[in-house]
């Protein structure tokens, strides 16, 4: 995993979302990049590995039919109550709502009183999907910065 995080196009490839979705979610504070936020034209957002996991959770909730508003409440609960232990839990989805199943078997309704359970999504599996997508990324090109010389300078002897 790159120490300097993941930029927008990489995030979209890894998580399976469009750049438009990623941009909207950042602008509406659903998920802000934790390593570097955009600071105007020409700057890029940089997301951490944990951000990737949260984005994958959001995408899975939306794919299961959960509204964006409900997904927002669910991810806020996960952040506040699971912290770094997010991959140890499973989400139990029932179409329009979602329920968090802790690893100890305790069920907590994230959206409303749960009804019939249709699908269980182990969050640890999402971590595996993210890792696989990262290894498939093409190597990143290193572009010279304005402050870095683009050609080697030869020191003159003497003086």
**Residue at 13 is within a domain:** yes
The answer to whether position 143 is within a domain reads: no
User: Is residue 61 a part of any domain in this protein?
Assistant: yes
User: Are the C-beta atoms of 99 and 117 separated by less than 8 Å?
Assistant: yes
- Does residue 1 register a pLDDT over 50? no
pLDDT at 111: 58
CA distances from 107 to 29, 33, 74, 93, 100 (A): 27, 29, 13, 12, 6
- Does residue 121 contact residue 133 with C-beta atoms inside 8 Å? no
Residue 148: CA count within 13 A, CB half-sphere: 5
Q: Is residue 90 part of a domain?
A: no
Percentage of the residues of the chain whose pLDDT score is greater than 90: 18
- In whole angstroms, give the CA distance from residue 13 to residue 45: 15
Per-residue pLDDT at 50? 86
By the 10 Å C-beta count (0-12 exposed, 13-18 middle, 19+ buried), 106 is classed as exposed
Average pLDDT rounded to a whole number, residues 10-37: 91
- How confident is the model at residue 109, as a pLDDT? 63
Is residue 95 in some structural domain? no
Query: Which tens digits make up the pLDDT trace of 114-128?
Result: 444 445 566 777 788
**Contact (CB, 8 A) for 100 and 74:** yes
CATH number for the domain spanning 75: value is 1.10.1660.10
- State pLDDT tens for residues 51-109: 998 899 889 888 888 888 888 888 887 777 776 677 777 777 665 566 666 656 666 66
**Between the ranges 4-18, 31-45, 53-67, 135-149, where is the mean pLDDT highest?**
4-18
pLDDT score for 102 = 62
Is position 118 within any domain? no
* Residue 66 in domain: yes
Judged against a pLDDT cut of 50, whether residue 10 lies above it is answered with: yes
Q: Which domain holds residue 14?
A: 6-83+125-135
How high is the pLDDT of residue 25?
Answer: 94
Q: Is 59 part of any domain? A: yes
Tell me which range, 34-38, 40-44, 47-51, 83-87, is most confidently predicted by mean pLDDT: 47-51
Look at the chain and report how many structural domains it folds into: 1
* DSSP designation for 75: H
Q: Which residue has the higher pLDDT, 16 or 90?
A: 16
């Amino acid at each position: 995993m790159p120490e300097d995080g993941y930029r927008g196009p990489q995030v979209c490839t890894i998580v399976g979302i469009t750049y438009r979705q990623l941009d909207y979610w950042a602008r509406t504070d659903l998920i802000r990049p934790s390593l570097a936020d955009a600071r105007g034209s020409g700057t890029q957002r940089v997301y951490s590995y944990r951000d990737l996991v949260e984005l994958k959770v959001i995408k899975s909730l939306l794919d299961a039919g959960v509204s964006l508003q409900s997904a927002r409440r669910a991810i806020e609960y996960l952040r506040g109550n699971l912290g770094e232990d997010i991959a140890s839990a499973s989400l139990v989805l029932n179409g329009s709502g979602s329920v968090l199943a802790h690893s100890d078997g305790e069920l907590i309704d994230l959206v409303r009183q749960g009804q019939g359970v249709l699908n269980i999504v182990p969050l640890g599996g999402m971590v595996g999907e993210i890792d696989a997508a990262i290894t498939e990324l093409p190597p990143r090109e290193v572009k010279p910065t304005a402050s870095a010389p683009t050609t080697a300078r030869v020191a003159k002897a003497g003086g």
